[in-house]
Amino acid sequence: MRLFNAVILAFSMFVTNVQGASQQAAVERQNWKIFFEQHNAEGTLVVLDQRAPGAVFQVHNPRRASAPYLPASTYKIPHALFALEHGVVKDEFQVFKWDGKTREFDVWNSDHNLRSSMRGSVVWVYQRIGQEIGEQAAKTYLEKADYGNADPSGGKDGYWLDGNIRINAFEQIQFLQKLYTNSLPFKVEHQRLVKDIIIVEAGKDWILRGKTGWEGSFGWWVGYVEWPTGPVFFALNIDTPNRIGDLPKREAVTRAVLQSIKALPPS
């Protein structure tokens, strides 16, 4: 299901189709507001904790969670998958040669492979990938993945940065659910590789995978924490009026909420 149009009252329930299959409910978590206030952040967070049966979406600011936004660099997750499927990238070791142009972040000014370009969120690598895949093939992949509105048109710097593609926080999690179970309609080895290159950190019995994104006026952090009992998916979207100065808030708010439900250990 692409859009969640209902407004959720505090801790009231609504039912919707998740991945076109089972019925799943959601609750608004007004008590998460304190974590946003502590970091002076405005936005939304959706969490799906599947460590126990009967998981429901837990939501701060459900109206915003239902609103479609540009995916920005969170799109590097599906984009890497599409690149592997299309043959633009053969494996994680293939090198993308730097063109010598100095860009605003030092990490971008060097050669990269798929892993390092994901970790450094290297825009020029994915712009090159986007050009090689082309709009028509990208649309086909997006439709197969059921990703957001599946519209790769428009944009000067990249359709995921300033074009017409849009996705909401619920849809981010729906995509990640399918990636987690290797159930996207792409080669399993490609899905496994993408999951490997988005590892953020890990402990003895948990693994955090995710990707940030930033459009300029708002930022994302999406991903999931794997536990032996099941995954905990998350999708955060916040305003960034102070631009780069607000970027640490993406992880700070999300980590605080995940720690509060014991989905991440204390810092």
Return the active site residues: 73
Closest CA to 165 of 139, 186, 188: 139
Q: How far is CA 249 from CA 78, 104, 105, 167, in A?
A: 24, 21, 19, 21
Cβ–Cβ under 8 Å, residues 235 and 222 = yes
Which residues are within 8 A (CB) of 204 and not within 5 positions of it... i.e. 6 or more apart? none
Cβ–Cβ under 8 Å, residues 130 and 139 = no
AA identity, residue 170: F
Q: How far is CA 224 from CA 24, 155, 195, in A?
A: 18, 29, 10
Which residues are within 8 A (CB) of 104 and not within 5 positions of it... i.e. 6 or more apart? none
